[in-house]
Structure 1
């Protein structure tokens, strides 16, 4: 028996493959929802599901809520696998008032574009999938005001997180 050697290239390839599979699932699920319920309901249903996934992910960030923006930002950025290669985050702001991160890449969006999605169809997919961020940061106790990619934008989404409402009461 030989031991399998893991190199950063293999890990990146495997991770990229996992994101490609996730992107295809989102895309096909969205298509089925649109065919059965139309665009608005499809975005609503898919957003509900991705928001719930985000809530589960947000549990690990709760120790920073509702106001430790610096701690939240550090843990969030450190938790992004292959972040520079796959996401290209640009930290634009991080202080007691909030944080802003612009993602210049997204493996989900990149796969949707490669599959031929563009325009409104791409914008709606991004909106539905982007609810994951709202769920994650809200569950952690913060106020989320981010934006997903829209026609004419460069890169991908922009995360904007501010202290949660409970921070004002403290």
Structure 2
């Protein structure tokens, strides 16, 4: 558990990352169009996720308790208020109840559609993490009217 000051600083740092994502997204959209901006932001997010996921690969194929402790409940996780919905021998499902990225975009006046688009771009990170870590996953991003933010469900990778 992080001390409150550290938690606040971490939350602020991630929220500031939302500002950078938005600035890049808007700049690339203005220069090359929104499809190019989505592609670029997703690719950059995915590249970062591949780096993070490689450090978690020792937990594949089914150490869901280890993944919960190392990733979802690890240092800084309080920032996202993870709610563990399922932990079993075959699955780990976690619902994030808070998200400084989403909060940052909303504070900057982004519409619900913009927030959904930016979250979709940010899920490139998740694609990279779970591919490199060696897990199959389902990801449900936030949509207007939903509580919290994204929900992740991990299972053992099927086939190669």
Instruction: Specify whether residues 80 and 33 from structure 1 end up closer, same or farther in structure 2 by C-alpha distance, changes over 3 A only.
Output: farther
Instruction: Specify whether residues 9 and 101 from structure 1 end up closer, same or farther in structure 2 by C-alpha distance, changes over 3 A only.
Output: closer
Instruction: Give 5+ residue unaligned stretches, structure 1.
Output: 1-6
Given the alignment, which residue of 130, 154, 158 partners 1:161? 154
| Residue in 2 that maps onto 1:60 | 55
| Residue in 1 that maps onto 2:35 | 40
| Residue in 1 that maps onto 2:129 | 136
Q: CA RMSD in A?
A: 1.9
CA offset digits 1:65-113 (Å, max 9, x no partner): 12222222221123240x33x2111100111221111111101111111
- The count of residues paired between Structure 1 and Structure 2 equals 159
CA offset digits 1:124-143 (Å, max 9, x no partner): 01110122112111101001
Contact 1:66/1:165 (CA < 8 Å) preserved in 2? no
TM-score, normalised to structure 1, is 0.84
* Higher Rg of the two aligned structures: 1
Give the stretch that moved more between structures: 7-16 or 103-112.
7-16
> Superposition pairs for residues 15-94 of structure 1, below 5 Å?
15-81=10-76, 83-84=77-78, 86-94=79-87
1:37 offset after TM fit, Å? 2.9
SS at match of 2:140: coil
